[in-house]
Amino acid sequence: MKQIVKELEEAQSILLKHVIKPGPEKVSLEAAAGRVVFSNLHAPFALPSFNKSPLDGFALNSLDTNGASQTNPVFIEIIDEVQAGDTRNDLKLKQKTGVKVMTGAPLPAGADAVIRKEEVYYSRGRIKLEKELSHNTDVILAGSDVRQGEVIFKKGDYLTPYHIGLLAALGIQEIDVYKKPVIGIISTGSELKKPGEPLSYGQIYNSNHYSLAALVKLLGGDACSFGTVADSISKIKVLLERAINTCDVIITTGGVSVGECDLVRNAVEDLGAEVLYSRINIKPGTPSMAALKDDKLIISLSGNPAAALISFELLLRPYIYFIKGSLEEPPLKAVEGVLIDGFHKSSRQRRFLRVRAAYEGNKWVARQTGSQDTGILKSMLGCNALVDIPASSPPIPPGGTVRIILL
């Protein structure tokens, strides 16, 4: 069986060529955080929709303060009081009159300035001003936050809690977002058991399924479990067919190396799927495959836990980012930094080290999180970045300069 070997960037490009975004759905404000906007959203009205006071004080017409000074004070008659939420729209100021206002109160017609209550002398229903006010002094103008008809969110925007607050301020109860991509997860391996089941000698618990499902959920997808399947071409085919019929993309783990029990490629080809690549020049994660069936991707990762997780970060994180509707560059930023503890091995293949990266002393620094062996899962704890070591690299001395991919 001929291997189709690709470099990492080639594999990433192949996956992104087959991004098919799900359609739209309406969700409530409570369910909108973390979702992606399906179409441009216009403001139904201005925000604020009226001129209002940013403080407790007195609202008046600035023209009535012309010439005011300590030696020539101006007196303004206070004819009413307006609080936040006052719905009267027929209140109008006459010359040399004003109103007492509270923070957030709408300004009456004719008022174009507000003065703090502590800046004036108030007695017997009038205030004494000893300074001139200019037009719109301490006034929050209608539309100063959002203009009516303005595009407030664009197609592809990621909705944060701050977006949700703006939606609520505009009275919007629902918003059109991309449906969550449904991502099927199949674990292959006769040795795998569910956590909680008794283990016989030689069996292990299936960690890949749970960590990958958690990653899918954190990235905004719906993880759909198809469980664990034994090393059998016919059984793998049955699960793959079921997943293809119900999911947008399928992830499998295990069964993609070159051993006699690595049967995922056989099952995929028996389904009539086109294999796009069957191996990637990276370590860990060399055994990796992508195939296309009915315009849906089957992405197969190594069964080794660290290899599966690192491959997911490098291949599926950017893919899911786009398939859920995001239009910006994928979230894999690379920076130059130093590897504090170095790496004692030569790297024949391109290698990715699990590290903890931080910005310290005006530079990025990285420290290994533990053993870099393919089957070691513990060193994923605390890992927030990967050090990208080119192929044919010698050992890296402590403090050596490296390329760090931030996760």
What CA–CA distances, in Å, run from 212 to 217, 293, 331?
A: 9, 22, 18
Q: Average pLDDT for residues 376-399, to the nearest whole number?
A: 96
Q: Average pLDDT for residues 390-399, to the nearest whole number?
A: 97
Domains of the chain: 5-22+180-323 (3.40.980.10), 29-46+149-178 (3.90.105.10), 57-129 (2.170.190.11), 333-406 (2.40.340.10)
In this prediction, residue 262 carries a pLDDT of: 82
Q: Are 280 and 5 in contact (CB under 8 A)?
A: yes
Structural tokens at position 283: 């370590």
Q: Beta strand 333-339 with 400-406: parallel, antiparallel or unpaired? A: antiparallel
* CA separation for the pair 374, 317 (Å, rounded): 20
Q: Residue 383 above 80 pLDDT?
A: yes
* pLDDT interval class at 275 (50, 70, 90): very high
Q: Average pLDDT for residues 171-175, to the nearest whole number?
A: 97
* pLDDT interval class at 257 (50, 70, 90): confident
Q: Which residue has the tokens 């290994």?
A: 368
Q: How many CA atoms lie within 13 A of 225 on its CB side?
A: 12
Q: Which residue has the tokens 């391996």?
A: 189
> Mean pLDDT lowest for which of 26-30, 212-216, 326-330?
326-330
Closest by CA to 352, choosing from 316, 318, 306, is 306
In this prediction, residue 1 carries a pLDDT of: 75
* CA separation for the pair 291, 15 (Å, rounded): 10
Q: Are 74 and 17 in contact (CB under 8 A)?
A: no
Amino acid, res. 171 = G
pLDDT > 70 in the chain, percent: 100
Q: Average pLDDT for residues 328-334, to the nearest whole number?
A: 79
Digit-coded pLDDT (tens) for 220-252:
999 999 999 999 999 999 999 999 999 999 999
